[in-house]
Amino acid sequence: MTIPPDYAKVREVCPICSQGWVLVARDNATHALFFRCDECGSEWEDARNIEDESSRRRDDYYDWDFVESRELATNKVYKYVINKISKNW
């Protein structure tokens, strides 16, 4: 049985499309983290600006992957993650 990936989420509902999750993604070339809606593809560089329509981007990144919550536990963006990993292990 395969455990589905637990991608790091920063918003339960995307403010642009009201459909998708806003997840943490990593650019494969630069390893920069950014935030991306899994439904409409809106992207943000800074989690603090997700409600700000003017800071939204699209398709700035073309080779990237969503990042799992556990990979971010020591990262500064972890404070924005809403599905933090359980500490009970």
Contact 77, 22 (CB under 8 A): no
Q: Determine, following the binding rule CB under 5 A, whether residue 71 of this chain makes contact with Zn ion.
A: no
| CA 4 from centroid of its chain's CA atoms | 16
Among 10, 24, 25, 37, the residue binding Zn ion under the rule CB under 5 A is 37
Among 27, 39, 68, 71, the residue binding Zn ion under the rule CB under 5 A is 39
Among 20, 44, 64, 72, the residue binding Zn ion under the rule CB under 5 A is 20
Q: Determine, following the binding rule CB under 5 A, whether residue 23 of this chain makes contact with Zn ion.
A: no
Among 14, 25, 67, 72, the residue binding Zn ion under the rule CB under 5 A is 14
In angstroms, rounded to a whole number, what is the distance separating the alpha carbons of residues 5 and 20? 16
Minimum CB distance to Zn ion, residue 89 (Å): 33
Contact 39, 72 (CB under 8 A): no
Binding footprint of Zn ion on the chain (CB under 5 A): 14, 16-17, 20, 37, 39-40, 42
